[in-house]
Amino acid sequence: MRVQVHLRAEKLGNVSRGRWRGKKSNPYAKVVLTSESTTVASSVVDLGCTEIITNELSPRWMTIFTLEHDESKDWTPLRITIHDGIAENAFHRAKENISRNGSQPNTVLPLPSRSGREGTKMGEVDVKVGGSLRMDGQETKLALNEGGSLFVHITKSQQGSDTGMFTCHIRGLDIKNIESGLLGLGAIDPYFELSKKFVDPDHGISRWHVVYRSEHILNSINPYWNPFEIDVDRLCNGDCPGKELKIAVWDHQNWGEDRWLAEVEVSVAELQKSVTKGGNASRDNALRVEDENGEVMGLLVVLKAGVIA
C-alpha cells in the first residue's frame, strides 16, 4: 500500500544563535526509512527533506513524503530528524532568485544544497507507519527531547482513480490592507496556502494539510502570484471530485507570526468553473475570501485551473 506522510510540529525548542534578540529557528525535517536493526547502514533509505520555514517554532510543512508500506509487515520504521536550517545560505539563495527572476523571497525557502552542513539538531524520533495508521485520526504525536512535539500523519495515498498534474494560476484583488506601516503608508505582503482536508469519520476527526504555499508579494493589495502545478495524488489523493480544498490568504511578517487574513473552501471542479473569462482584473467570476466573521477580505481571480493527464 502506498502511503503519504505529512509533518507538523508545535512549540519546538529555539536553538537559534540569535534567540537572545528575538530570533527563532528555521526548522526543516529529514526523513529516512530504516530497518528494524538501525546498525545496518545499507538498509537506510533517504526519503528527503522538507522545505525550510524561517523564524518559526510551530511549522506546518507542505512537503509530502510518499512510500510503499507492506501491510503484512507492520513495522515500516521511519526516523525523522528536525534541524535548524542554515538561514544565511537560504537567504542568499533567495536574494539570487530575486536578482535573476524578479520574484520576492518566501517565508518558505528551498533547502540548501547537500553540503554536509545540516544545522543544529532540534530533535529526532522514530515512528512506525503501521502504528500511525491505526491511531485515531491516523496521527502520532511524539515528544522531542530538545523541546516541543512532532505530529506525524499518515494516510493511504491513492483513494480515487484520478491521475495527472493539476495546474493553477491565481491572483488577488482588493485584499484588505491590515498593515498600518510608517505614517500609515504600509501595505500587506500577501501569500496564499492551498490545503486539502482529511476526515476520519469513525472518530469525528478532521484536519487540513497544506499542499502548496505561494511566494509572498511585498506591499501589495493586488498580488500576482506565480503559477504552480502539483501532482493529483498529493493534491487530492486521486479523488478530485470528493476532496475538499481550502485557499487561505496570509500576511507575511519579517518578525513575529504571519497573520491569517481570510479563506475560502473550494474543490478542483469549483476552481475550474471559476476560471476568469474577462481578463486578470475581472471580478465577475472571482472567489471571495472571508474572515471568521464572514466579512469579505478580498477576491481571488483564477487565471488557470486544470488537470493534465
> Average pLDDT, whole number, for the chain?
86
Sequence-ordered list of residues with C-beta below 8 angstroms from that of 232, at least 6 positions apart, any chain: 162, 163, 164, 165, 166, 238, 240, 307
Find where cell 526516523 sits. 79
Phi then psi dihedrals of residue 89, to 5 deg: -70, -40
> What's the CA angle centered on 30, arms 19 and 210, to 5 degrees?
85
Query: The pTM is what?
Result: 0.86
Spatial distance between the Cα atoms of 184 and 175, rounded to a whole number of angstroms = 16
> What pLDDT, in 10s, does the model give residues 277-291?
998 999 999 999 999
185 in Cβ contact with 255 (< 8 Å): no
Strands 139-143 and 205-213: unpaired
Alpha helices in 102-231 (DSSP H): 129-134
> What pLDDT, in 10s, does the model give residues 107-120?
455 554 444 457 89
Work out the pLDDT band at 159, boundaries 50, 70, 90: confident
CB pairs under 8 A, 24+ apart, for 273-276? 274/302, 274/305, 275/302, 275/303, 275/304, 275/305, 276/301, 276/302, 276/303
173 in Cβ contact with 283 (< 8 Å): yes
Spatial distance between the Cα atoms of 35 and 47, rounded to a whole number of angstroms = 14
Helix (H, G, I), strand (E, B) or coil at 158: coil
> What pLDDT, in 10s, does the model give residues 197-225?
999 888 889 999 999 999 999 999 999 99
> What pLDDT, in 10s, does the model give residues 225-236?
999 999 999 999
Helix (H, G, I), strand (E, B) or coil at 235: helix
246 in Cβ contact with 238 (< 8 Å): no
Look up residue 39 and give its DSSP letter. Answer: T
Q: Please say if the pLDDT value at position 305 is more than 90.
A: yes
